[in-house]
């Protein structure tokens, strides 16, 4: 599903067991989805819900979050008459986030993940509540959720409460109808509109629900915001490293580099899977190039060229680990208490800590760190291309009329600024903790902070790779203009790099005289982020590893 057509409907049957990062990405990016609860999942949900309803009627046994208060107030018993109000108060009071809103695609992913964990059938929630969440995705009602305010403690309490605020209504008719805010997709205007949650649901024709016992806690207790951010960042990072290989291959040609460093014989002797895959990608991209290996007096290139497979080895292998974490989390029960109908004892609710997002926090910090290195090594190649002392005979800043014209000088500054920003952002959030809730929640994961930082670094590195493509294409233009190289790009460049060069030049003209560069950088960033460049290359030479 790397190239899922997001204009076609995405159809999923949620069973709680088999959701993939690719499916999450497709639902997050699309506006046409069809979602159902699998029949076997519905049966599990009904079994756990039946036990909650018996408890709701009898008042026994005492179970956290069903007939008690929350957090440090777990010892406070709640009367049967107040169980509905208890759940609604939880959502109202916990909708306490702040800051800029999360991107719509992140919230859509979180909605899907919340539904997935609930259909596993261990949360005691009615199917109608999950079906309401699925209808919101289908009819494009997306809660407005502030990005800040979650510790990854009892899950992502504040942001998930903002989500639930749109879905639910007060059990008391005379009470204020706090519905939060939500985006609604106006198909006539083809744009998202921000409305009150109530109005968005009304426009979509979706009735809001009154929460019964356990259901508020089932909606806001879990890791879905952190996991949504990580999943989308992971998916895009996998595409980004392939784009980084393309940029590196173009730079190698522009710098008339040496290909012996990418031979399979070298990499078999240190067989990290990611190293082997990266070297293989470079060989395929430059196959047939007439620019490389043209200076036999040079025996080896600088590290930023020669060691690209070794650096990307750690990146790719870490991405494999992150995927394993995500796949577990996508299909896990992450709230509390967990209701297991098959237990033989009277109390079938087990209090635990599956909401604690430490695995997600570590994975997000790992992602941030490895993405930093993708940007770091790309910036070194950008610098090398810009420096006439290092770029194998090209002019300073790849500018023909240096002095009067400045060429790509400041684009390298931009890349350097992004690299430095990434270093600040990469400080691990997962090693921090701060106690909350009267010290009942005395160790927290900071997963949402780690995931948001990884998300920002991802987008910074997309821009750095775009700047390398800008430099490499300009350098290749200069090579092609040399007297003995007056040929078509396909006659000079490698099988993959020729396609990449053509794709870039369809969108961004060569730099003949100075012009503002921000539009070129933005255009190339979109080619990277939206998969346009990668798709063009893979259509020619087949999928990259």
The CA dihedral of 159, 162, 167, 170, to the nearest 10 degrees, is 130
Instruction: Say if CB 180 and CB 107 are below 8 A apart.
Output: no
The DSSP bridge partners found for residue 192 are 185
Closest CA to 224 of 107, 142, 90, 322: 107
Pairwise CA distance, residues 396 & 529, whole Å: 29
Query: Taking the CB of residue 74, how many other CB atoms lie within 10 A of it?
Result: 15
Q: Are 366 and 321 in contact (CB under 8 A)?
A: yes
Assess whether 64 carries a catalytic annotation. Answer: yes
Residue 195 three-state SS: strand
Q: Give the pair of three-digit tokens for residue 86.
A: 């208890």
Q: Cα separation of 195 and 201, whole Å?
A: 9
The residue with tokens 């756990």 is: 48
| CA-derived radius of gyration, the chain | 27
CB crowding 251-283: b at 16 or more within 10 Å, else e:
bbbbbbbbbebbeeeebeeeebebbbbbbbbbb
Q: Which of 64, 183, 185, 234 is the catalytic position? A: 64
CA distance 39 to 121: 12
Strands 209-210 and 168-169: parallel
359: tokens are 């695995």
Question: Distance (Å, rounded) from C-alpha 360 to C-alpha 441?
Answer: 18
Taking the C-alpha atoms of residue 534 and residue 527, their distance in angstroms, rounded to an integer, is: 8
Q: How far apart are CA 315 and CA 374, in angstroms?
A: 8
Token pair 């960042």 is at which residue? Answer: 233
Look at phi and psi of residue 523 and say left if phi exceeds 0, alpha if psi is from -120 to 50, else beta. Answer: alpha
Contacts 24+ apart (CB under 8 A), 5-13: 6/30, 7/32, 8/32, 9/33, 9/34, 10/34, 11/35, 12/36, 13/37, 13/38
The dihedrals phi and psi of 103, each to the nearest 5 degrees, come to: -60, 150
- Is residue 532 exposed (0-12), middle (13-18) or buried (19+ Cβ within 10 Å)? middle
CB-CB neighbours of 124 under 10 Å:
32
Rounded to whole angstroms, the Cα distance separating 447 from 155 reads 9
Q: Which residues are catalytic?
A: 64
């Amino acid at each position: 599903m790397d190239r899922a057509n997001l204009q076609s409907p995405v159809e999923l049957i949620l069973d709680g067991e088999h959701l993939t990062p690719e499916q999450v990405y497709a639902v997050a990016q699309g506006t046409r989805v069809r979602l159902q609860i699998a029949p076997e999942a519905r049966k599990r949900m009904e079994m756990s819900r039946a036990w909650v309803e018996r408890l709701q009627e009898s008042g026994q046994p005492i179970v956290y979050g069903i007939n008690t208060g929350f957090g440090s107030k777990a010892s406070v018993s709640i009367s049967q008459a107040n169980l509905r109000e208890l759940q609604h108060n939880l959502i109202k009071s916990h909708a306490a986030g702040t800051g800029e809103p999360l991107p719509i695609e992140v919230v859509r992913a979180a909605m899907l993940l919340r539904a997935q964990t609930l259909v596993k059938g261990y949360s005691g929630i009615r199917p109608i509540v999950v079906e309401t969440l699925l209808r919101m995705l289908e009819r494009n009602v997306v809660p407005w959720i502030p990005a800040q305010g979650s510790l990854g403690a009892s899950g992502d309490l504040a942001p998930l409460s903002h989500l639930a605020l749109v879905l639910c209504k007060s059990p008391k008719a005379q009470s204020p109808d706090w519905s939060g805010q939500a985006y609604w997709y106006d198909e006539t205007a083809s744009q998202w509109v921000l409305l009150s949650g109530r109005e968005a649901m009304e426009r979509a024709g979706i009735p809001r629900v009154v929460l019964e016992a356990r259901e508020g806690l089932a909606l806001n207790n879990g890791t879905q915001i952190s996991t949504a951010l990580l999943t989308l960042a992971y998916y895009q990072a996998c595409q980004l490293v392939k784009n980084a290989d393309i940029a590196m291959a173009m730079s190698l040609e522009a710098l008339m580099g040496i290909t012996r460093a990418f031979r399979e014989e070298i990499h078999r002797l240190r067989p990290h899977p990611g190293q082997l895959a990266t070297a293989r990608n470079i060989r395929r991209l430059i196959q047939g190039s007439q620019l490389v290996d043209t200076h036999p007096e040079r025996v080896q290139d600088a590290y930023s060229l020669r060691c690209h497979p070794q650096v990307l080895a750690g990146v790719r292998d870490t991405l494999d680990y992150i995927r394993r974490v995500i796949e577990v989390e996508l299909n896990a029960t992450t709230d509390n208490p967990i209701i297991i109908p098959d237990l033989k004892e009277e109390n079938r609710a087990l209090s635990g800590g599956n909401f604690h997002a430490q695995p997600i926090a570590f994975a997000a910090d790992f992602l941030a760190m490895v993405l930093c290195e993708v940007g770091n090594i790309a910036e070194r190649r950008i610098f090398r291309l810009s420096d006439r002392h290092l770029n194998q005979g090209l002019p300073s800043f790849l500018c023909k009329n240096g002095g009067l014209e400045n060429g790509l000088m400041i684009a390298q500054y931009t890349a350097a600024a992004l690299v430095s920003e990434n270093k600040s952002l990469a400080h691990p959030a997962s090693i921090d903790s701060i106690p909350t809730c009267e010290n009942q929640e005395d160790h927290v994961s900071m997963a949402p902070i780690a995931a948001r930082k990884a998300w920002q670094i991802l987008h910074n590195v997309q821009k750095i790779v775009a700047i390398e493509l800008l430099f490499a294409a300009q350098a290749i233009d200069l090579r092609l203009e040399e007297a003995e190289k007056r040929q078509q790009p396909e006659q000079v460049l490698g099988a993959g790099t020729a396609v990449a060069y053509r794709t870039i030049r369809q969108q961004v003209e060569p730099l003949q005289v100075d012009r503002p560069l921000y539009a070129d950088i933005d255009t190339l960033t979109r080619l990277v982020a939206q998969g346009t460049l990668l798709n063009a290359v893979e259509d020619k030479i087949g999928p990259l590893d």
